[in-house]
Structure 1
Amino acid sequence: MDQIAPIDPPATAETSPRFQQKRNGIIDAAATLINERGLKGLTFVAVAEAVGLNTTSVTYYFKRKEMLAATAIERTIDVLADELETAGREATPRDRVSKMIALYLTQSGSARLGEARPLTILSDMRAMDEPQRERLTSAYMARIARGSARLFGDPMDLQNRARGHILLDTLFWSRAWLAKYSVGDYERIGKKLMALFEHGILPDGATWEVRAPDRVPEPEIGEITPETYLRVATRLINERGYRGASVERIAGELNVSKGSFYHHLEGKDDLVLECFQRSYGRFSQAQRRAINLPGTHRDRLAACLGDLLDIQFEASFPLVRITALQALPTELRRIVLARSDRMATRFSGMISDGIEEGTFRPVDPLIASQWVTGLINSSHDMRFWAAEQPNRAEAVAAYAHQIAHGLFTPR
């Protein structure tokens, strides 16, 4: 298995236990800061305060903030790669996936209790500057993305790549809602997640039709408006994260000056919050349209999935990735998370009502709703996989099949 080349060659002084202890403490602090504030919030001042050193001492271990961030991300890639390698030794795809869920949740619980080092949220890897961004992204694709696909068989198979993506994004998204549970509940949560991976949410023998709705193409607008900035910012946030969607990059995409940006908008944080508000508005509208449709709750969820997955795979104006909220100021993040929870709760109600009417399998509706919400959110990352399908309608149906019947049932 390929290894990431170390950022700094080890020197003799760096082999001492005291040096390594201090260095690990700095990396732990960096991981925690990135998780809480995003890459934007990682500063040497904050790290020094967290570990009881001065900033000059921190620079002895890491000369630049980008090197420290890259090392924190690198360590997480190493941990996940080791977990995937361990899980890959199991006999069957089901056993491998079950093992991976258990390993991930055990590590998450131990880190929450302070018994293991924290893993860094990997979404801000998109915002890294070159050459770290390319190096870490390549390592992630080779070791993590391919390793997750390998749990299901041939890592080059398109369906296995989709399955591996769903597995990883489910685990990564769990960080947004696991805090609502006690660590003592993690074992039960792992079993409930495995049940979803194994069987999906539909009863045995049941089917549904998940179709993309007919959309009227939006006319192209020649002039630059606040709406234009919103679309470009949403796409850049998804591709580069909050930090990567800079005012300079947004203005550059539109071939306008920074002055033009501030003529249309108050500031970047206002624009990012508006990106979230618009995405959540579109998400909620799709849910409400589906809820008001005739038929069963299964029919309604299928209609909602078709609507939202089509938006994500069409890709010109996707929903903004929720992972970008990590870099928002605390109060804005609280607003965004609250609305995300409301959307998941709405799915929970649909699934719970569907269980009562017998159109859904008796799953844990709270966990299932977070699963569905996270997979819709992350499906934009599968747009290149979707483009390799015969058409977008087929891509929507294939992706939704995993939700309906689990990751092990052929379509």
Structure 2
Amino acid sequence: MQTRFSEESKNLPRAEEAERILRSCVHCGFCNATCPTYQLLGDELDGPRGRIYLIKQVLEGQPATASTQLHLDRCLSCRNCETTCPSGVDYHNLLDIGRAVVDHAVPRPAGQRALRLGLRSLASSPERFTALLRLGTVFRALLPTNLTAKLPRPSPPHGERPPLEGCVQPGLSPNTNASAARVLDRLGVSVIPCAQAGCCGALDYHLDAQASGLDRARQNIDAWWPHLENGAEAIVQTASGCGAFIKDYGHLLEHDPNYAAKARQVSERALDLVQVLGKEPLEQICAARNQRIAVHCPCTLQHAQKLGGSIEALLTRLGFNLTEVPDGHLCCGSAGTYSLTQPALARQLRDNRLNALESGQPELIVTANVGCQNHLDGAGRTPVRHWIELVDQSLAE
């Protein structure tokens, strides 16, 4: 499509990138067919094509409004549309550019600002987040339903805290990293602790604080770089949402003279756990039992990292009994903090996804991202775990 950016927009740091992305869109509308929010709401402005037009209008000088902000906020950033788009429109980067412009022009109400600041400060700190979870568990009976759904269901501990960490995962799903460390150890793959690394930056970046998100990326690069120089082969993530953002460091910091080269290498070395274990002889150490399993493949794994089907292939190879899951490309509604900032839509998407996942009557649902796991499991229906816990269990047996 043609663009006529305003003089102000031409001076934006990512103006050329935005114009290139907009010009690649042929407004065919195929993206709407796989957009979760468009399917729920049926509003053109709540689909990718409509949001692209809204961003284009703002960049061409039309005033941004609270309505513009709402339609952009409703986007899950699931990137399903990117998988569908025949023109290869880089939608998620355009959305990030558009959101930054709109959020600068449209001040949020005090309640929204407080929620987003609270999420950024709590979720990015494992200590504060875990302490809050413990407090919530103590007072579970007094909390409203939407908050109790976010508290993890009790599960037996699988071991000590491993050198793989994270932000919310140690509190919400401590068994995940313990299981990963144990399986990697059995395979002879050593895990190097890196206490200096922190939140990947995605929370800040997607909650009106892009500069803070990039600062966190730089801090992580500084923490990982000595290990890479000393021979570490990969930076492994057990949460696909974090992995998707880390694999974007190279692009997001490509114009930073001090970090561009390092960021590119970090992104190239970032691997999801399934990429590591998919190449290992797991059959020699695992004994799968005949348990019906449904796999929820997170959007960040299948649409962002292009690793759709990799978990299913690995578990099938190990002999697990996987059920058929219709519409496996659709989002569960977790989308980072979306289940807290857009709770009504998130619940609808969660229930639709669970209906599809449970259609084959599985005994357990597995996924690859802590946000999806917590969101789906919060419905109190079929238990949801990280897939590595299943592999670890078969290892123990």
Structure with greater strand percent = 2
User: Which is bigger in relative contact order (C-alpha 8 A, separation at least 6)?
Assistant: 1
Tell me which structure has the larger Cα radius of gyration: 1
State TM-score, norm by structure 2: 0.32
